[in-house]
C-alpha cells in the first residue's frame, strides 16, 4: 500500500473521534516508522484543520519524527536518576561505540540514537530502551552485548 493510502485509511478511521490528531499521528508513525511530509496535507484536509495547525502539533512533540529512522532506535535516558548512576559516562560510551551523536543515525542505517527523559525505570538506573525493550542497570558491557544481540536479531539479553 502506498504511503498516501495508509495515511488516508488512518485518517478515516479516527476523524470522527474527539481530539483525533494525536491518535492519527501515532498510528501513522507506528505504520510507517515516521510521519512523511505528505501526511500533513492529508490530515489537515481530513480533520478540517489548517496545514499550519497540523505541522504545529507534529513539530511540538519529541516522539514524532518526520524522517525515517535507522532500523532500530536506541533511547538512552539522560534524566537525574540515571545521571546519579553514571548515565553521563554511558552516553559517551554509546556515542563512541556507534560513532554518532544524539539524534543521529549510524552510517549503516542500523541505529538511531535518541536521548530520552525518564523511562520510569529509575530503580534500575541507568536505563535505556532499544525499540520497545527497556534495559536496566546498563553498563558499557551490557550495552555492547544488547547492541550485538539486536543487530543479530536475537532475543533479549539476560541481566
Partner 1 sequence: MSIRVYVPRDSSALSMGAEAVASAVASEAARHNADIAIVRNGSRGLYWLEPMVEVETSLGRIAYGPVTNKDVASLFEADFLHGGRHALLRGPVDEIPYLRKQERLTFARVGITDPLSLEDYAAHGGWQGLRAALAMDGASAVKQVTDSGLRGRGGAAFPAGIKWKTVLDTPSHQKYVVCNADEGDSGTYSDRMIMEGDPYVLIEGMAIAGIAVGATHGYIYVRSEYPHACQILADAITLAREQSYLGANILGSDKAFELEVRKGAGAYICGEETSLLESLEGKRGMVRFKPPLPAISGLFGKPTVINNVITLASVPIIFAKGADHYRNYGLGRSRGTLPIQLAGNLKHCGLVEKAFGVTLRELLYDYGGGSASGRPLRAVQVGGPLGAYLPEQQFDTPLDYEAFAAIGAMVGHGGIVAFDDTVDMASMARYAMEFCAIESCGKCTPCRIGSTRGVEVIDHIVAGDEREKHIALLEDLCDTMINGSLCALGGMTPFPVQSALKYFPNDFHVAPKRKVA
Q: Note whether 28 and 39 are within 8 A (CB).
A: yes
33 is written with which cell numbers?
A: 516508522
Please select the residue that binds partner 1; options are 26, 33, 45, 71, rule is CB under 8 A. 26
Instruction: State the Cα–Cα distance between residues 6 and 42, nearest whole angstrom.
Output: 11
**35: closest CA among 9, 15, 63?**
63
- Residue 7 in contact with partner 1, rule: CB under 8 A: no
Q: Does 35 bind partner 1 (CB under 8 A)?
A: no
**Smallest distance from partner 1 to CB 1, Å:** 23
* Side-chain-side CA neighbours of residue 41 (13 Å): 4
* 1 counts as binding partner 1 under rule CB under 8 A: no
* 3-state DSSP assignment of residue 28: helix
> By CB under 8 A, which span of 2-10, 55-63, 66-74, 100-108 interacts with partner 1?
55-63
Rounded CA-CA distance 119/150 in Å is 19
Burial per residue of 112-133, b for 16 or more beta-carbon CB atoms within 10 angstroms, e otherwise: bbbebeebebbebbbbbbbeee
Does position 105 interact with partner 1 (CB under 8 A)? The reply is no
Smallest separation (angstroms) from partner 1 to the CB of 129:
8
Q: Which of 87/107 has CB closer to partner 1? A: 87
Beta bridge partners of 75: 114, 129
Q: Min. distance of Cβ 133 from partner 1 in angstroms? A: 8
- Of the candidate spans 5-13, 94-102, 103-111, 125-133, the one that interacts with partner 1 by CB under 8 A turns out to be 125-133
Part of the chain binding partner 1 (CB under 8 A), chosen from 66-74, 83-91, 95-103, 104-112: 83-91
Q: Which residues bind partner 1 (CB under 8 A)?
A: 18-23, 25-26, 47, 53, 56-57, 60-64, 79-85, 116-125, 127, 129, 132-137, 155-159
Amino acid at each position: 500500500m502506498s504511503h498516501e493510502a495508509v495515511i488516508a485509511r488512518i485518517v478515516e478511521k479516527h476523524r470522527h473521534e474527539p481530539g483525533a490528531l494525536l491518535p492519527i499521528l501515532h498510528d501513522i508513525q507506528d505504520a510507517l516508522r515516521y510521519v512523511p511530509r505528505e501526511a500533513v496535507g492529508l490530515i489537515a484536509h481530513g480533520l478540517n484543520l489548517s496545514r499550519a495547525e497540523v505541522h504545529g502539533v507534529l513539530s511540538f512533540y519529541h516522539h514524532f519524527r518526520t524522517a525515517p529512522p535507522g532500523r532500530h532506535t536506541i533511547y538512552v535516558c539522560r534524566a537525574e536518576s540515571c545521571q546519579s548512576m553514571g548515565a553521563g559516562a554511558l552516553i559517551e560510551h554509546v556515542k563512541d561505540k556507534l560513532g554518532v551523536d544524539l539524534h543521529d543515525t549510524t552510517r549503516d542505517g542500523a541505529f538511531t540514537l535518541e536521548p530520552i527523559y525518564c523511562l520510569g525505570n529509575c530503580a534500575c538506573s541507568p536505563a535505556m530502551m532499544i525499540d520497545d525493550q527497556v534495559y536496566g542497570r546498563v553498563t558499557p558491557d551490557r550495552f555492547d552485548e544488547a547492541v550485538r544481540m539486536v543487530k543479530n536479531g536475537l532475543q533479549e539479553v539476560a541481566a
